[in-house]
Structure 1
Amino acid sequence: MALHKTFSIIVIASKDEKDFSLLKKLKDKFSGHEIILAIDADNELSIDTLNDINLNINKLVKVPNSTRGKSLNAGALKAENNYLWFLHIDSQIDKIQREDLERVQKKQLNYFKLAFDNNKNTINASGANFRSKNFDLPFGDQSFLIHKNLFNLIGRFDESLKEGEDHKFVWDAKALGIEIREITREIITSARKYEKSSFWQTTKTLFKTITQARKFKQNKIENIFCFFMKDPKSKNSKTRLRETLKDQGLVDQFNLHCLNIVKSNILSLDKNGNKIVIINNSPNRHYIEELGLSKFSILDIDEENVGKSMHEAYEICAPFADRIVLSGSDIPELTSKHLSDSVNYLSKFDSYIIGTKDGGYCCFSTKLKNLEAEFTRVNYSSSTVLNDFTKHLYNLKKSDFLLFDVDTLDDLQSMYTALKNAKMTKEQSDLIGFIDKRKYS
């Protein structure tokens, strides 16, 4: 059977796990899909067990000090396919068929009906299925199936939680208005935790569910702020400035100062009703972790073509918020107030745009949902980007000011003068101090 959707099947296991029989069943039944085992690094596997595991998987990920959230995220980070299927090692997949995976839709979070591996817990299973079907609150035991971009937009699993990471993930999805859909096939899970005291464990689970719902429930996301970012040390950033100055370290530091300004903007905008999404235009996320921004949603779009990158980010995000803001990360003058104002203008206009001195733009906000083609019809290396991009847009407000996009030494000096005469944030002031020390002002 030809595969139309290819999955990365992510199986997590604790440091005490000894039974890995699920892996061979997955390989036999779902050949052609990627199988990833994310296991606690302290699990001391014998050579024979490790050899058996490696025969049935594509990747082994060892997770230090693992929680379920850490293991699930670590597996997802290594996934190469477009769709993800999260499984626990004690899941039984006998009733699940290959065609069930084909039913997963790009903009949905999917899950299976739940059953236990004994006949004593039918009430618990019925309760879980009732909760899932009627309140859109599935458990992680029911396994989640989701497109990788949607998973990253939601924001991955919360690694700080020892339990309830599945519940929080679902509430994060609900805040975006994502459809949560049951696949009417049973996945069977172990009833081990119910064996000693079924009544007590059921009561405990119900109490946790109510408590977590109060904790994790959040307001609907109204605005998605997308920040396009790149590794500050990338030699593909500020190429003309690098060529002029012949000082790679200086440009790296300039880029880092710009990212610190962006970080300040992000933290200011991180409020109820807002979703922060980092569009990572680099092959790795290390610099995002170093900035302390890895808790936010990260979409990996390693695309040098600006138009295609913006198109993909817009296509992923626009369906799930009333308004979307696309913003560059190398405009030192751009503040969180500019970005907040870009949303406020949408009460009167369909779109709002902030232009740059070189004929481009650095911020675009819109409430329109059908603009995918607009981003790729523009030549972003020209000096007429702003006019070319906006000529097909109606009910548009252009900013009554222009900001500097620093590509050349002249741009750097002009930006310095403009920023120094403005009211600065601490991060902007730090950039000015850096330029003063390097005597490029």
Structure 2
Amino acid sequence: MKDKVIIFFTRIPTLGKTKTRLESFLNKDLCVKLQTAFIKDIYGNIKDMKIDIIVNYSDHGDLEVLKDIIDREVYFLKQEGKNLGEKMHNAISFALERYNKVVLIGSDIPLLSKNDIKVAFKILDKKEIVISPTHDGGYYLIGMKRENKDIFDIKYSTSSVFIETIEKIKSIGRTYGVGNLQLDIDDKDDFLRLHNILNEEKRNSCKFTRKLVDEIMENGDKDK
């Protein structure tokens, strides 16, 4: 049994299936490019940490597209389940058969830092579960040392996902810790907030996202 692993939970960048809530602001091609930039930046960050990675990918699109973005040597695992909760639980269950500690992250968090991951694993040294919130009331990271199916039995895509998950954790009597807050990019307001943050924090390492966001804002190429 190995010590720890990061599950990178992501869609395959696919026209009309990627960042759809941004399609009213960006065209479909730009949505694909944006998701691709997010994946490149997040993967680049976690790859540098020298921790095993499982890429848990969606069942639509061409896997070769994702393999061209991410190292082909990484373990690719297809998402299985009827809904988001089941898919996350199944991926974590798979990983826990092979690792002592598992942290699952999403792919809409280009500002993710190595410290966000380090904090999560440090919490898992003392707690059974770690969960890291987003500004919109969801979470971008969840980790554990043994499977807990019940905590994924909630309604997703609402502003109460984080709070409801915490309540589920409490109801089954598991210890938990809360990780760093991050920005999840779903809609136009999130995109504009990301642009402002990148302008203010020049040292942020998400180079692919920064380059594309700057190009989009400079060119004004946002029409469908």
Query: Aligned partners of 2:41 and 2:82: how far apart in 1?
Result: 23
Matched, 1:408 2:187: yes
Query: Aligned partners of 1:304 and 1:247: how far apart in 2?
Result: 29
Distance 1:287 1:348, change over 3 A: same
| TM superposition score normalised by structure 1 | 0.46
Matched, 1:380 2:156: yes
Please name the residue that 1:237 is paired with: 18
SS in 1 for 2:7: strand
Please name the residue that 1:397 is paired with: 177
Alignment of 1:279-290 (within 5 A): 279-283=56-60, 284-290=62-68
**Larger C-alpha radius of gyration, 1 or 2?**
1
SS in 2 for 1:233: coil
Percent identity (aligned)? 22
Query: Aligned partners of 1:285 and 1:303: how far apart in 2?
Result: 18
Post-superposition shift, 1:381? 1.9
Alignment counterpart, residue 40 of structure 2, candidates 260, 263, 266: 260
Contact 1:233 1:252 in 2 (8 A): yes
Query: Aligned partners of 1:419 and 1:348: how far apart in 2?
Result: 34
Query: Aligned partners of 1:430 and 1:314: how far apart in 2?
Result: 28
Post-superposition shift, 1:234? 4.5
Query: Aligned partners of 1:257 and 1:306: how far apart in 2?
Result: 23
Query: Aligned partners of 2:27 and 2:69: how far apart in 1?
Result: 23
Post-superposition shift, 1:418? 2.5
Matched, 1:305 2:86: no
SS in 2 for 1:256: helix
Partner amino acid for 1:293? D
Partner amino acid for 1:237? T
Query: Aligned partners of 2:200 and 2:80: how far apart in 1?
Result: 36
Please name the residue that 1:437 is paired with: 215
Query: Aligned partners of 1:323 and 1:420: how far apart in 2?
Result: 36
| TM superposition score normalised by structure 2 | 0.86
Alignment of 1:144-155 (within 5 A): none
- Structural RMSD (CA): 2.0
* CA displacement, residues 249-268 of structure 1 (integer Å, 9 cap, x when unaligned): 11111111101112202321
Contact 2:80 2:90 in 1 (8 A): no
Contact 2:15 2:29 in 1 (8 A): no
Query: Aligned partners of 1:299 and 1:320: how far apart in 2?
Result: 14
Partner amino acid for 1:385? V
Please name the residue that 2:30 is paired with: 250
Query: Aligned partners of 2:86 and 2:80: how far apart in 1?
Result: 10
Alignment of 1:101-250 (within 5 A): 177=1, 221-242=2-23, 244-250=24-30
Matched, 1:418 2:197: yes
SS in 2 for 1:354: strand
Contact 1:263 1:291 in 2 (8 A): no
How many residue pairs align between the two structures?
213
Alignment of 1:312-331 (within 5 A): 312-331=90-109
Post-superposition shift, 1:372? 1.9
Post-superposition shift, 1:315? 1.6
Query: Aligned partners of 1:304 and 1:336: how far apart in 2?
Result: 31
Query: Aligned partners of 1:240 and 1:265: how far apart in 2?
Result: 26
Query: Aligned partners of 1:323 and 1:285: how far apart in 2?
Result: 27
* CA displacement, residues 341-361 of structure 1 (integer Å, 9 cap, x when unaligned): 211122222222210111100
Contact 1:281 1:304 in 2 (8 A): no
Alignment counterpart, residue 362 of structure 1, candidates 127, 140, 154: 140
Post-superposition shift, 1:432? 1.9
Alignment of 1:19-30 (within 5 A): none
Query: Aligned partners of 1:235 and 1:262: how far apart in 2?
Result: 22
Query: Aligned partners of 1:346 and 1:301: how far apart in 2?
Result: 24
Query: Aligned partners of 2:123 and 2:187: how far apart in 1?
Result: 31
Distance 1:254 1:303, change over 3 A: farther
Post-superposition shift, 1:330? 1.4
Gaps of 5+ in 1: 1-176, 178-220
Gaps of 5+ in 2: none
Post-superposition shift, 1:246? 4.9
Query: Aligned partners of 1:234 and 1:395: how far apart in 2?
Result: 41
Contact 1:278 1:297 in 2 (8 A): yes
Distance 1:370 1:255, change over 3 A: closer
Query: Aligned partners of 1:304 and 1:432: how far apart in 2?
Result: 34
Please name the residue that 2:54 is paired with: 277
